[in-house]
Amino acid sequence: MRFLLSSILLILVSCGSYPKKQNFKEVTSEKVEIYNPYFSDSTKDYVYKADIKVFKNSFSGIFIVKKLSEARHRIVFTTELGNKLFDFEFQQENFKINQILPEMDKKVLINVLKRDFFALIEEKPFAINSYSKDDLRMSESELLGKKHYYLFVKGALERIVRTANGKEKVTFLFSGINDNIASEIQILHHGIKLEIKLKAL
Amino acid sequence: MNRLLYLLFLVCTTSFAQTQMNNTEATELQSKVKSLAETTKTITADFVQYKHLDFLSDDIVSTGKLSFKSPDLVKWAYVKPFEYSVLFKDDMLYINNEGKKNEVDIGSNKMFKQLNKLISSSVTGDMFNTEEFNISYFNKGSDTEVHFSPKDKKFAKYIKEFHILFNADAEVSEVKMIEPSNDYTHIVFSNRLTNQNLSDAVFAQ
């Protein structure tokens, strides 16, 4: 009986939404918009040094993002020596592979990268719900069919969290923010051993 | 009329700037490069790398130092805007990424190995290999630009052409790797020193 009760309790707790687990309260009074400014300026070349840890391997390269026009982004990854490893393009949610190294041409990997990069570049995701706690604001949206929570600290986007069943799956951290540029970005996967660290050049 | 003049000007300057070499001149360059290579034991040079992607507003610029030791030890050490070096040794790549060492060869570097082989070869003088490349020679003032387009179809999928610029002394002064998309990596060498004593530590892993 006690086991049953604690099981029910556990289920109730684990079913709680991500913001509620973080003690955020739902905001119902105002219409909230989400804005991710970090790859939004089409006059800028966004160039980052990337360090990637995947399972026990680590490698690095140059990560390049360019906003070509409204809702159209090009994402290219090269080695330090200049060889292209992949060249992707987003037109809103539509994803196109311009070029990829045969060794990287794996469906699973491409899907992971596609989801991660879409979360980086999507500027105005639709806010389904919004929550607040002190001077923190959290907004819920859906990207490519998955729940994402946007955390704003004093108005600045510091974190995006992708969840499944209320649990964090992937965390995007933005820091060193100045003039709508995040000088450091981390993409941390919790389910698989994958870590992407980007440092603005 | 203005347009016509401009066009004429353009045609003239391009044809002045780059004319195809005749066979005698090409053979002469080949033997010059070869004899220089035979006496070259070490090279150090500074380099500036321009990565050109058509969709970007500016090229991505990085700088560093190249070290070469005959017959085929080559190290590229980037200094700015990041510290990164890659040493080609015994068909391996030894990477030092801001202090973190790695020996992992991610496949793409295969083509850089090829380029590297090409640069090493240009020093040893036996790069004018018509089995591997279609080769054409151009005069550029006192310099010579040689275009190598790979015959191997797999390789050609990554690199459309290599352009190597030789100065009047038959030294490699610039290298350009052009991708099939016409994006390219352009490397310009300066402060070249040959046959200086180069410590083995430079090529330690």
For the stretch A178-200, pLDDT in tens is 999 999 999 999 999 999 999 99
Whether A93 contacts A124, CB under 8 Å? no
Provide CATH code, domain B20-203.
2.50.20.10
Interface probe with A: pick from B47, B106, B181, most Cβ of A within 10 Å: B106
Instruction: Give the full edge-to-edge strand order of the sheet including B84-89.
Output: B19-20, B133-140, B143-150, B161-166, B172-178, B184-194, B42-52, B60-69, B73-80, B84-89, B92-97, B100-102
Residue B2, pLDDT score: 62
> Where are any strands of DSSP class E within B7-160?
19-20, 42-52, 60-69, 73-80, 84-89, 92-97, 100-102, 133-140, 143-150
- The C-alpha atoms of residue A194 and residue A51 are separated, in whole angstroms, by 11
CATH architecture classification, A31-200: Clam (2.50)
Q: CB of A201 within 8 Å of any CB in chain B?
A: yes
Got the DSSP string for B20-53? Answer: EPPHHHHHHHHHHHHHHHHH--EEEEEEEEEEE-
Confidence at B106, pLDDT banded by 50, 70, 90: very low
Residue B71, pLDDT score: 82
Cβ atoms within 10 Å, residue B163: 17
Q: Which carries the bigger pLDDT value, residue B105 or residue B77?
A: B77
Q: What are the tens digits of pLDDT across the range A50-104? A: 999 988 888 899 999 999 999 899 999 999 988 898 999 999 999 999 999 887 8
Q: What is the mean pLDDT of chain B?
A: 84
- The C-alpha atoms of residue B120 and residue B176 are separated, in whole angstroms, by 15
Average pLDDT over residues B130-157: 90
Q: What are the tens digits of pLDDT across the range A107-153? A: 999 999 999 999 999 999 999 999 999 989 999 999 999 999 999 99
Residue B15, pLDDT score: 47
Q: Which residues in chain B touch residue A83, judged by CB atoms under 8 angstroms apart? A: 108-109, 111-112, 158, 185
Closest in B97, B112, B181 to A83, CB measured: B112
Bridge partners of residue A200, in order along the sequence: A48
Q: Residue B31 burial by CB count (10 A; 0-12/13-18/19+): exposed, middle or buried?
A: exposed
Whether A60 contacts B107, CB under 8 Å? no
- Going from the C-alpha of A76 to that of each of A27, A51, A89, B196, the distances in angstroms are 38, 14, 9, 39
Q: What are the tens digits of pLDDT across the range B35-89? A: 888 899 999 999 999 999 999 999 999 999 999 998 878 899 999 999 999 888 7
Contacts of B160 (CB under 8 A, 6+ apart): B149, B178, B179, B180, B182
Cα-only R_g, chain B: 18
Closest-CA distance, B155 to chain A, in angstroms, reads: 12
Confidence check on the interface: ipTM exceeds 0.90, yes or no: no
Q: Which amino acid is at B30?
A: Q
Closest in B53, B84, B104 to A64, CB measured: B53
Q: Do A101 and B107 touch (CB under 8 A)?
A: yes
Listed in sequence order, the DSSP H helices in chain A are 2-15, 18-21, 107-121
With 50 as the cut, is the pLDDT of residue B12 above it? no
Closest-CA distance, B72 to chain A, in angstroms, reads: 18
Q: Where are the domains positioned within chain B?
A: 20-203
- HSE, side-chain direction, 13 A CA sphere, residue A105: 10
With 90 as the cut, is the pLDDT of residue B117 above it? no
How many residues make up chain B in this entry? 205
Bridge partners of residue A142, in order along the sequence: A147
Contacts of A167 (CB under 8 A, 6+ apart): A14, A18, A190
Q: Do B84 and A57 touch (CB under 8 A)?
A: no
With 60 as the cut, is the pLDDT of residue A11 above it? no
Cβ atoms within 10 Å, residue B193: 11
Interface probe with A: pick from B56, B95, B117, B154, most Cβ of A within 10 Å: B56
Q: CB of B58 within 8 Å of any CB in chain A?
A: yes
Interface probe with B: pick from A55, A81, A101, A109, most Cβ of B within 10 Å: A81
Q: CB of A68 within 8 Å of any CB in chain B?
A: yes
- DSSP letter (8 states) at residue B158: T
- Going from the C-alpha of A55 to that of each of A142, A170, A191, B97, B98, the distances in angstroms are 28, 15, 11, 18, 20
The pTM is what? Answer: 0.87
Q: What tokens appear for B155 in the block?
A: 């390789």
Whether A104 contacts A86, CB under 8 Å? yes
Q: What tokens appear for B130 in the block?
A: 């018509």
Closest in B51, B55, B60 to A68, CB measured: B55
Cα-only R_g, chain A: 18
Residue B152, pLDDT score: 87
Closest CA to B71 of B43, B109, B31: B43
- Going from the C-alpha of A57 to that of each of A51, A60, A147, B102, the distances in angstroms are 11, 10, 29, 9
Q: CB of B168 within 8 Å of any CB in chain A?
A: no
Q: Which carries the bigger pLDDT value, residue B109 or residue B198?
A: B198
